[in-house]
Amino acid sequence: MFFKVEIELITTHQNRNNKMKMELIFIPSPATGHLMATVEMVERLLDEDNRLSITVIIISFNSKTASTIASLTAASNTSLRYEVISGEENPTELTATDSHVQILKPLVKDAVAKLLEWTRPDSPRLAGFVVDMYCTCMIDVADEFGVPSYLFYTSNAGFLVLLLHMQFMYDSAEENNKYDIEFEDSDAEFVEWFSFFRTQARRFRETKGILVNTIAELEPHALKFLSNGDSDTPPVYSVGPVLHLKNDTDVTQAEILEWLDEQPAGSVVFLCFGSMGGFSEEQAREIATALEGSGHRFLWSLRRASPNVMKELPREFSNLEEILPQGFIDRMKARGKVIGWAPQAAVLEKPAVGGFISHGGWNSTLESLWFGVPTAIWPLYAEQKFNAFEMVEELGLSVEIRKTEMELVTAEEIERGIRVLMEQGSDVRKRVKEISQKCHVALMDGGSSRIALRKFLQDVSDNIA
């Protein structure tokens, strides 16, 4: 009799949660890529569950994203609201981390408190916070409201494994009074960032679950490690690819896309290195020489390297004629274009693009896979060297340009990479096409990412106190 009553109570609780309206608070990083990935994730969640409403708290540090933020706030409705909080400092995307976000915790707390003041008896229950990988300090705010925290991890599962395992090993050694840990074969940059990574991983473990921008078919080994990891590892939901593919192009960019429409299928190599990727004049000349020598059509998004990328983003060269090889622009007029900022997703979607030379940022990597375009990875900063190793060595989905950073890459090396990249019928090209299909299937009903998304929503419902 007792067992029957217990079952009925559990069933009643589940039925109540299945009908309960829920509110999630999303807090994305100020970096544009993270913000737009969050927007896409939020829209996908709302499409999946009509019980759900979401408030996105946008942290703004500068005026560069003002138009984007304005368009988002204008789109607020009953199920999706955007609240903007402004910070006084002006970090670059590489430094827009917890240290800058930390001072805004009181403002976030006030915004959520006001949101709760507006509630009515039939209002959704506050189900938790979903914080960006660079906003983990907001877990403290969620704790003050007595609700769970979840993490939105916009990079790959492999790097997440590295961070969590590194932190676990270091903390275990520290507990056992072993202080002789050394970073063998690690470069100075990694050691310099170690304290940040370690703290970040510790905070990840405080969450009730981690949404990862990957698909089960792409990183099965990393996801298996996470699911079978130590007891402190939260549940991981592979919900990718989470991509913001909407592009608003201006007149110049529209001309670029029209030019691509005029080129033969698979004939153009596209070079683009992210918002923080730039090159010296000497390196730009080496790239130009390689492009000319390769004989392939090209579209090259070129920027000048910043003297300190931690403080200032790269900018466009003022006069390309002065820094590129003499006569290059005129000689290449018929088969190539050198441009500034590029509408990357719109370019990759074009059938003319047959290869993509990229810095290997995870968002760029997923975009190339989504459109079935093979890549040659040239890592420049952040976790991109890890991404390059995973894509080239482990998964066989990319071609290598150079594994190391900060060294001059010669025209010969680059040209060799272009020729391998653009080879028709290569194993890399075939594997990319296969994984591209799997990316699309993952988001369909019954696909791995769709199932993971539903599991996340069910767990959010079950975790409501």
Q: What is the per-residue pLDDT across 114-151, written as a single tens digit (0 to 9) for each? A: 988 876 667 889 999 999 999 999 999 999 999 999 99
Instruction: Specify whether 357 is located in the same domain as 402.
Output: yes
Confidence of residue 293 (pLDDT cuts 50, 70, 90): very high
Segments of 246-346 assigned E as strands: 268-272, 297-301, 336-339
Instruction: Specify whether 23 is located in the same domain as 127.
Output: yes
| Residue 246 domain-assigned (yes or no) | no
Instruction: Specify whether 364 is located in the same domain as 458.
Output: no
> In sequence order, what are the residues at sequence separation of 6 or more whose Cβ sits closer than 8 angstroms to the Cβ of residue 404?
385
Of 94-98, 108-112, 277-281, give the lowest mean pLDDT range.
94-98
Q: What is the pLDDT of residue 218?
A: 97
Q: What is the mean pLDDT of residues 208-212?
A: 98
If DSSP codes are grouped into helix, strand and coil, which group holds residue 144? helix
Instruction: Specify whether 267 is located in the same domain as 233.
Output: no
The CATH number linked to 12 is 3.40.50.2000
| DSSP β-bridge partners for residue 57 | 83
If DSSP codes are grouped into helix, strand and coil, which group holds residue 297? strand
pLDDT at 16 over 60: no
| Residue 245 domain-assigned (yes or no) | no
Structural domain that includes position 371? 251-440
Percent of the chain with pLDDT over 90: 65
Instruction: Specify whether 72 is located in the same domain as 142.
Output: yes
pLDDT at 179 over 60: no
**Edge-to-edge strands, sheet with 353-358:** 336-339, 297-301, 268-272, 353-358, 375-377, 398-400
Instruction: Specify whether 188 is located in the same domain as 281.
Output: no
| Residue 159 domain-assigned (yes or no) | yes
pLDDT at 358 over 90: yes
Average pLDDT of the chain to the nearest whole number: 88
Q: What is the pLDDT of residue 6?
A: 44
Confidence of residue 396 (pLDDT cuts 50, 70, 90): very high
Percent of the chain with pLDDT over 70: 85
Instruction: Specify whether 228 is located in the same domain as 256.
Output: no
- Is 341:274 a contact under the CB 8 Å cutoff? no
Q: What is the DSSP letter of 304?
A: B
Q: What is the mean pLDDT of residues 453-462?
A: 97
Of 97-106, 244-253, 409-418, give the lowest mean pLDDT range.
244-253
- Structure-model confidence comparison of residues 45 and 117, the more confident one: 45
| Residue 290 domain-assigned (yes or no) | yes
Instruction: Specify whether 98 is located in the same domain as 174.
Output: yes
Domain count, the chain: 2
| Residue 38 domain-assigned (yes or no) | yes
Instruction: Specify whether 205 is located in the same domain as 100.
Output: yes
> In sequence order, what are the residues at sequence separation of 6 or more whose Cβ sits closer than 8 angstroms to the Cβ of residue 79?
46, 52, 53, 54
Q: What is the pLDDT of residue 2?
A: 42
- Of 376, 426, 428, 427, the C-alpha closest to 403 is 376
Q: What is the pLDDT of residue 76?
A: 80
Determine the residue type at 314: P
Tokens of 211: 């949404």
| Residue 413 domain-assigned (yes or no) | yes
Instruction: Specify whether 181 is located in the same domain as 323.
Output: no
- Of 120, 121, 105, the C-alpha closest to 25 is 105
| Residue 101 domain-assigned (yes or no) | yes
Q: What is the mean pLDDT of residues 44-65?
A: 88
| Residue 419 domain-assigned (yes or no) | yes
Long-range contacts of 116-125 (CB under 8 A, 24+ apart): 116/145, 122/21, 123/21, 123/23, 124/20, 124/21, 124/22, 124/23, 124/51, 124/52, 124/53, 125/20, 125/21, 125/22, 125/23, 125/464
Instruction: Specify whether 82 is located in the same domain as 209.
Output: yes
Instruction: Specify whether 398 is located in the same domain as 257.
Output: yes
